[in-house]
Chains A and B, each alone.
Chain A
């Protein structure tokens, strides 16, 4: 066996250029597929991270059944001491209390059902940067008695900062909640649904308005590291009894999970197409290599070389070439990927403006996981090994007489 390996190795370096060209095709295959997958994964991570930051948080705590029924009857008592205790968990970076419910908002002849979010202005702003979305008027303060309404909703109602709207809904335990509330500010959201139906009250004010004193409907929790979701969920489940529900972002936004799954499927198809191109590239180079060695093979067989042994040598050659290509590709791609992860490609021009308006940063983000890294390497290796079967078959069918005549 050692002899075969020696032979194959020496064969490689008899013709350096040929070897380098084949190895390069494998090398670029690895780098390309890695960068492509990294871009897809990076985009998903970024989507998840943005949606978590802008809206749901990594984990939410509600009263049991709140997520299904969405009524104040499933609200929970807001206990500051609990917050302090939870903050001791080093995975938890932010805890955001909210009182979310639906009400009728009305001005003049127009009425509409809207979502009323009772928020702690300070904490909310730390996380979702809500104050930066103000297009007119002022952001809420802790003791504000005014309301922030979304820009599309303001248009619909024909109101502006300084006008008042009527908020009319059902408070805790079915009491009527109705009041005239001055508009403090107007916030603009990129997502059309939000821009037509979101309103904000200061938490204290909304608790009073809905007679839900000291109550909230959800605690959103942001983690320092998204990988700690499961462990933190377990921690929270042990901390809270079963009159609470603990949900992670995937349960809270199944539509996001679904859209990522759909996109991922198309990403895998794209990757598949890339692999086919790569396979033909590798296969092509090996075919050429084989074709130009017809005479060599013919002579070897004529002077008594066994076809089987020759096949083994060529297989080894292909394996070496693939390994050289894959190893080089893998090594070179690590710094490239690390650089891209830390310096996402910035977008400019109109695309950037559009993405900014949606509340995201205008970048093409990348991600880097060992799992995804090795998946690409194995795939490219497999393609190279399959291509190695071509010269074997070629040698099996080779007639020295024909080969020698060239």
Chain B
């Protein structure tokens, strides 16, 4: 009688001492990732940006407007160069559609083309639609604190949950403690080899938020390749609903 009570008391104490703080910490990591994610993505947004595709022997620059309604919808309207102007990419759940003004036609990208690069960039069509959410599909753990580009950051490791259909074996991201911005994120493949880096910099205030406006996607397996994005305008939580993301509207947006 006494012993069993004593044992359960010990158990409770043990739980209080070891397990709860771990829980609290991991929740903490999840909270941090959530905050960072919400800061950059919001519920909905309108962005104007230029994308520079850099290859070993050529570069190409495009400008575009992006309307997004998290997590399912995005519409990208290319404004330059002249040759691609008016091309629209619509992401709806896990489908990608393109409006080709030169052919006056909407085309659905078949699954076999999902892994092709989008507009020649280091992003694939699949990257546009990948359903994985860094909140729900990963477990988060703070594995250290480091200074990156002068920002004091939490170093957080994201490990995919077993049931999540995710291509990365892990993601390591650095999140600035006070701004909740991510100056650096590293993606690892199944051999635990780093495949690409995603770097943010150039802090500006846009639409009342302090955010990074310069992003670089660097595929490490392809030296000399890089995709650089510069935000010129961004609006968070705009009034927009899913009817905006329709085939009809692809032909109308300007």
Verify if B113 is at the interface (C-beta below 8 Å from A): yes
Contacts of A166 in B (CB 8 A): 100, 103, 105, 107
Dominant SS among interface residues on chain A: strand
Interface size class of chain B, counting residues whose CB lies under 8 Å from the partner chain: 20 to 34
Q: Looking across the interface, which residue of chain B has its beta carbon closest to that of A111?
A: B110
- Taking Cβ atoms with an 8 Å cutoff, the residues of B that contact A are 53, 55, 58, 60, 83-84, 87, 98, 100, 102-105, 107-110, 112-113, 116-117, 119-121
Partner of A175, one of B84, B116, B121: B84
B102 touches A175 (CB 8 A): no
Q: How far is the CB of B52 from chain A (nearest CB, A)?
A: 12
Pairs A–B under 8 Å by Cβ, sample size 18: A104-B110, A104-B113, A111-B107, A112-B110, A166-B103, A166-B107, A168-B98, A168-B107, A170-B119, A173-B58, A173-B60, A174-B117, A174-B121, A175-B120, A176-B83, A176-B100, A179-B102, A211-B83
- Complex CA–CA separation, A113 to B109 (angstroms): 10
Verify if A180 is at the interface (C-beta below 8 Å from B): yes
B53 touches A174 (CB 8 A): yes
Contacts of B87 in A (CB 8 A): 176, 178
Contacts of A174 in B (CB 8 A): 53, 55, 60, 117, 119-121
* A75-119 with Cβ < 8 A to chain B: 104, 106, 111-113
Given contacts A175-B60, A175-B84, A176-B83, contact A170 B107 (CB under 8 A): no
Contacts of B84 in A (CB 8 A): 175-176
- Complex CA–CA separation, A73 to B224 (angstroms): 14
Given contacts A174-B53, A175-B83, A175-B84, contact A168 B119 (CB under 8 A): no
Interface size class of chain A, counting residues whose CB lies under 8 Å from the partner chain: 10 to 19
Contacts of B55 in A (CB 8 A): 73, 173-174
Contacts of A111 in B (CB 8 A): 107-110
Q: How far is the CB of B119 from chain A (nearest CB, A)?
A: 7
Interface centre among A168, A170, A178 (most CB of B within 10 A): A178
A168 touches B100 (CB 8 A): yes
B103 touches A168 (CB 8 A): yes
Partner of A113, one of B102, B113, B120: B113
B103 touches A180 (CB 8 A): yes
Q: Looking across the interface, which residue of chain B has its beta carbon closest to that of A73?
A: B55
